Structures are given as structure tokens and as C-alpha cells.
Amino acid sequence: MTISSNQNHKTPLYDAHVAQKAKMIPFGGWVMPVSYEGVLAEHKTVRDACGIFDVSHMGEVLVKGPDAAKFLQWLTINDINKLKTGGGQYSALLNDRGGMIDDLIIYRLGDNEFFICINASNRDKDFSWIKQKSAAYDVVVTNESDAWAQIAIQGPRSTDVLATLLTPADAAMMRTLPYTNIAPVTISGKPSLLARTGYTGEFGYEIYVPASVAQNAWMALLEQSSKFGVKPIGLGARDTLRLEACYLLYGNDMNDDVTPLEAGISWATKIDKGDFIGRAALISQKTSGLKRQMVAFKMLEDGIPRHGMKIFHGDTETGVVTSGSVLPTVGGAGGMALVSTTLKEGDDFFVDIRGAKKRAKIVKRPLYAARTK
């Protein structure tokens, strides 16, 4: 998990975290809770019951106008034309070289209105890119990040926990909301959005509420602790949860030099949909053949892999760990790595852990079978 030294920004829930005695750290330009009672305990809470996360540092961009769909079709890698109103779609922004500026989720709120969730550390960069590229289209691009707070409710008891925050009608709708879809709801008396998404590999939701009611919503959710076992969860467990599910983290597993084909999200990359930024580079890479690939691995010897550690096949350096940690649910340690395409599932390699080469094995992704649906 990459940590920034910039400590300038606080989410609307900062005071609640301090009151709950969270350990606070700088992360992506924000002061965020890394843990409350400990990473392993919090990880288990999400897998077994329900955890809530403050992800208000994430960014939100609204794209509206007659050309909104046409613009996003050219701007992103997935096929916007397949996205119906109320639907959500995993996608990415690319540069002309095919490198990933960011991965994101796009929700279609109406025929000509789209709500985009972007990564915290990329809020300004992404908005500037989207705004700049929109000049030739009849659209209005608005950065709404400061208006929203975002709370993730994740785990097998998440439906029961979230239902206590909703009106009866909204709760009934929520129970039938398809995976990745989004819907308007009322939370703490304010118009809000509820999405069937998450970053943990568990069944769950993410809610977007006005910043002014974020603390009310947060505390109302925690009031269900004795009944449903819900607890606040920090970034430490968020990282181990997403790693077991092999969800990408920007700045670790992808960046401006890693293409979506290399990162393992070719399933979301619709090269045949027509022209989009970075498409020519991806076609060229596909034609010439990938030289590197994203794989999952488990350690066969003691040692915890970390981002940036070198990987060797025999005596030949053949890749790098992009994300690594202990794997609380899976057991042992492991992670993801960008390695040569000469390696395949089942092959062994060595991770250089502080000067000692420790054996690991490439395994099938994901490390933990997601229960999101």
C-alpha cells in the first residue's frame, strides 16, 4: 500500500475516526484511518460479518450533455453503449501509449448523464484530463468530489446493516439491486446514491451521501454493531482484502506505463468497439505479443513480499512484485506481480526479500474467490 507524505486533506469523517481511536496515517494526500483494532481482526470482520470503510477520499466526476455517451466511449476502454441507465461499469482512462492514467467505475444515471468514481490520489489529474479531452464535445464536466462522502459497507451481513439506514421502499429496492448497479436513495433525509459495488471481494455496497450528513450515516451504521457485528475498518485491512481478491491498486499494480492488457483487465478493454484514446497502442501491443503479464502468487517459503521487490526465475530477473502482504483468509503470504510472459501458472520463481531469495509459485487469480454476487 503506497503511502503519501502529504497530510493536508481530511474527509468529513475525520473527527469520527479520531473519536474511535483509529490509527491515522497520510495516504494519497489524505489523513486516513489505517486501523482501529488491528488489520487481521478487521479483515476477519469483513469476511465473516460486516465492515464499514470511509472512502470519502475517492473522487466523483459528473459528465452531462448530448455528447456524454459519445465522449466517454472515446475517453475510456469499456463499451459505454452497453451501459443501461442504473448500470455501472469498470473501466479505465489511457494515455496515447496505452498506459493507464487511472482505473474507475462509470455509472449511467440517465441517457446523457454519467457519474464517475475515480481514485483518491488521482482526483486532480483525472479531472484535468477529462475536462481537457471534453473540449470538442457538447458536454459539461463537473468535479463533485467535495460535495460527496463515500462509505463502503462490505461483508455477508451488509444488506441487513444498510437496510437500517434506508426507508422501507429503498431497503426493498436495495435487496434486489444487481451487482455493479446504482440507484437513488434517501439517507439522513438527503438525496444520495447507493451502488452494489465494493473493493473487498465480499457482497456489499457503497453509498454516496452529501458530506453534511456523512457523520450521521456513519454513526447510524455503527449503532448496529451489537446486532450485526458491524465495525469500522481501516485502510490496512482494505488492502489485504482487495489483494486476496486480486483487485488492482493504482500506483502499485498499474500506472502510466502499464497497459490494461498487461494488468490483466483485457475483459474490460473493448478494442473492437471503435476508436478510443490508447487503442492504437493496444492493437500494436496485441499484434506484437505481450512481454509482461500480471500474475498472482503465493510464497512457498517464509517471507512477506512487498511492492517493488524483484523477482527472479533462476538467476534471471524476470519481474517485480506490484502488491504483496500476508493473506489472512487464504493463509500464508503472497500477492500480485508483473512478470515475463514466458512464465505460466504453476511455475516457481524467487522473490528477493531484503537480499534473500525466497521461493514462490504462480497461482490462479484471484487468490480468494470473490463472493460479490
pLDDT at 3 over 50: no
What separation in angstroms does the CA of 123 have from each of 54, 120, 266?
16, 5, 24
pLDDT class of 373 with cuts at 50, 70, 90: confident
Mean of all residue pLDDT scores within the chain? 96
Segment (H or E) for 16: helix 14-19
Model confidence pLDDT, tens digit, residues 321-352: 999 999 999 999 999 999 999 999 999 999 99
User: CB neighbours (10 Å) of residue 286?
Assistant: 15
More confidently predicted of 8 and 98: 98
pLDDT at residue 158 tops 90:
yes
What is the per-residue pLDDT for 87?
98
Give the model confidence (pLDDT) of 274-329 as tens digits. 999 999 999 999 999 999 999 999 999 999 999 999 999 999 999 999 999 999 99
- What's the whole-model pTM score? 0.95
pLDDT at 1: 43
Q: For residue 180, how far is the Cα from the chain centroid?
A: 13
**DSSP 8-class letter at 270:** -
Banded pLDDT at 4 (limits 50, 70, 90) = very low
**pLDDT reading at 166 higher than 90:** yes
| pLDDT above 50 (res 213) | yes
What is d(CA 265, CA 41) in angstroms, rounded to the nearest whole number? Answer: 31
CA–CA dist 58, 60 (Å, integer): 7
In the chain, the N- to C-terminal Cα span, in Å, equals 26
Amino acid occupying residue 334: G
Fold observed for domain 291-363: Elongation Factor Tu (Ef-tu); domain 3 (2.40.30)
Confidence category of residue 2, pLDDT binned at 50, 70, 90: very low
Cβ-based neighbour number of residue 133 at 10 Å: 15
Q: Which residue has the higher pLDDT, 83 or 8?
A: 83
Interval 77-95: pLDDT, tens = 999 999 999 999 999 999 9
Percent above pLDDT 70 for the chain: 98
Q: pLDDT for 18-76, tens place per residue?
A: 999 999 999 888 999 999 999 999 999 999 999 999 999 999 999 999 999 999 999 99
What is 1-288's CATH number? 3.30.1360.120
Can you tell me the mean pLDDT for 354-370?
97
Q: pLDDT tens digits for 250-265?
A: 999 999 999 999 999 9
Neighbour order of strands in the sheet with 148-154: 182-187, 190-195, 204-210, 148-154, 50-54, 230-233
Which triple of cell numbers denotes residue 149?
Answer: 462522502
pLDDT of residue 332: 98
Asked if residue 16 has pLDDT above 70, the reply is yes
**Shared fold status for 1-288 and 291-363:** no
- Residue 370: strand, helix, or coil: coil
Is pLDDT of 240 > 60? Answer: yes
pLDDT score of 121: 86
pLDDT confidence tier of residue 361, bands split at 50, 70 and 90: very high
Check residue 198 and give its pLDDT: 97
> What residues does each domain of the chain span?
1-288, 291-363
Pairing outcome for strands 182-187 and 190-195: antiparallel
**Is the confidence at residue 208, as pLDDT, over 80?**
yes
Amino acid type, 72: L
